[in-house]
Amino acid sequence: MHNIQLTNQILEELKEKEWIPFTIGNSISGENTTLFIKSNFTHDTYSMIISDLSLVWIKHSDSVTTLNDKNIINNNNNNNNNNNNNNNNNNNNNNNNNNYNNNNNNNNNNNNNNNNNNNNNNNNNNNNNNNNNNNNNYNNNNNNNNNNNNNNNNNNNNNNNNNNNNNNNNNYNNNNKK
């Protein structure tokens, strides 16, 4: 609240100033209100009178009040800047965490892929070994069959030789009996 002396001082300061009308619209009711203002602004002070022709508002700021207002605004700005910096830091930390998690996930995926590749290689090696074993078994079986055939042939030859010998002996004996 202004005291009487300050009010009189403001009225005296603004008495030569023109009344300037301005309209304020109410977006809810759609009605407009016309107000009138007299004002004087300097580098570090201001005085104003606002009226709607039934009420009068007087506002004044001296250099001390203006400095306090500036400090409040600067403090608010500093607080906003600090909040913005904190938010930026939090965002950066979140981004770093996300990047770290993504890198870990990528590393895990790479490890899984490597493990899968190793498993596939092992499976391929096992299959190759099985194929080699099967081939060896097949070759061994063939060799055994060949050996058996050779043995049979040898036995047959021996039998034939024995038969021939027996026949020869018989012939010899028969010839000698005569």
Cβ neighbours of residue 50 closer than 8 Å, sequence gap 6 or more: 35, 36, 37, 56, 57, 59
Q: Is 46 left (phi over 0), alpha (psi -120 to 50) or beta?
A: beta
Tell me the pLDDT tens digit for each residue of 37-68.
999 988 888 899 999 888 888 887 777 777 77
Strand pairing category for 32-41 and 20-25: antiparallel
Cα angle for residues 131, 137, 143 (degrees, 5° grid): 140
Q: Tell me, what amino acid is at 45? A: T
Question: 44 near 63, Cβ under 8 Å?
Answer: yes
pTM over 0.75, yes/no: no
Q: What is the pLDDT of residues 124-160, one digit of tens each?
A: 999 999 999 999 999 999 999 999 999 999 999 999 9
